[in-house]
Amino acid sequence: MELFFRKYGQGEPLIIIHGLYGSSDNWVSIGKKLAENFEIFIIDQRNHGKSPHSSDHNYTVLKNDLKEFMDEHSIEKAILLGHSMGGKTAMFFAAENPERVSKLIVADISPRSYKTTNANQLLSHTAIIRAMYNLDFYGINSRQEIDDILSKSIPENRIRQFLLKNIKRTEKNEYSWRINIKAIKNELVNIMAGLNEDQQRITKFSVLFIKGENSEYILDEDRKTIAKIFPFAFIKTIPNAGHWLHAEQPELFLKEINNFILE
């Protein structure tokens, strides 16, 4: 699959992989800062941003998309920076292609599975996707109307504003989702999948996990899973930040990345 991407800077390749509902557009400011020292590639994963849509959306196809992208752009080895779902894509890719990774940075996601019915993340995403999927755009004339409708199911304004970045105009000048919400809805359980901690042990490159202090995506009990799969991983916490830590605390986020990759 030919993924849309943005490219900045020169030097060692560094690939940024966004999370669920995200796109390369969300990472431009971070990418341009990192481009002072690296050749930055920010990709749109399938079913997101300006990349093609597909009925398949799981880590087998996502990691293969990343490998195909690196092959097409003659990137033999790269630093990978992935957030949330993008972090999982990077981890699955790294587990299968360790020789293609020089360093791995995982932003606010654990290698574990989030499939269990009592997982807050699965319940939260299920509610968000249901609200997006059930939204009828017929007769809607403004983004404010969309926001008002979504607010009935998604009370958090910050999340709604993030989701609204996925709104586009069709050729008929009607509103529509840019994201392939049907595929995401059908594949949500697979998006929540985790690495097999009993089979994986990755030691060929340095790994940094960055956690948002107020986020529940990396819990204390996840440290054991991280250590089992990535025995030499570092875990850093960004204060006063939630799951979208790169947007909430960009300077602190960049500082942790630069301390790790420029050491």
Q: Which residues are catalytic?
A: 84, 243
Residue whose tokens read 């049907």: 182
Per-residue burial over 218-229, b = 16 or more CB atoms within 10 Å of its CB, e = otherwise: beeebeebbeeb
Which token pair is 246? 């790169």
Residue with tokens 């399938």: 46
Segment (H or E) for 260: helix 250-261
CA-to-CA separations, 95 to 72, 201, 209, 212, in angstroms, rounded: 21, 8, 15, 24
- Main-chain phi, psi angles of 10, to 5 degrees: -140, 160
Rounded CA-CA distance 189/192 in Å is 5
User: Nearest to residue 233, comparing CAs of 138, 127, 104, 147?
Assistant: 104
